[in-house]
Amino acid sequence: MKLIPLFALLLWCGITRAADIENGNDLHFEHCTGCHDSSVYTRDKRNVRDLAGLGRQVRYCKDTIGLTWFDDEVDDVIEYLNQTYYHL
């Protein structure tokens, strides 16, 4: 019998990595604040209305400025923005 690699077993069991909001904060500060400040998240007529929309917006910005973030880094920024500003 072949042993299932631990990584595959963890994926099969549904264990996922929790978003790291400290990393999200760092990534946001380093890459996002050059284009806009927090007013874009707190304005009355903001574009983001749900978590899926926040994810689309973060990915759009990442792709527009050519960042090569991994999916977990994108998730970190999404979670940071959600916990800090959106509360979706």
List, for residues 20-77, the tens digit of each pLDDT value: 999 999 999 999 999 889 999 999 888 899 999 999 999 999 999 999 999 999 999 9
Total domain count, the chain: 1
Query: Which pTM value belongs to this model?
Result: 0.80
Residue 73 placed within a domain: yes
Residue 2 placed within a domain: no
pLDDT classification of 5: cutoffs 50, 70, 90: low
Range of the domain at 73: 19-86
Residue 35 placed within a domain: yes
The CATH code of the domain that includes 66 is 1.10.760
Residue 63 placed within a domain: yes
Task: Say if residue 6's pLDDT is above 80.
Answer: no
| pLDDT score for 1 | 46
pLDDT classification of 18: cutoffs 50, 70, 90: confident
Residue 51 gets which letter from DSSP?
H
Residue 34 placed within a domain: yes
Amino acid type, 83: Q
Residue whose structure tokens are 């090569």: 68
- Who has greater pLDDT, 15 or 30? 30
Residue 9 placed within a domain: no
Distances 84 to 1, 2, 6 between C-alpha atoms, Å: 49, 46, 34
- Who has greater pLDDT, 64 or 6? 64
Residue 10 placed within a domain: no
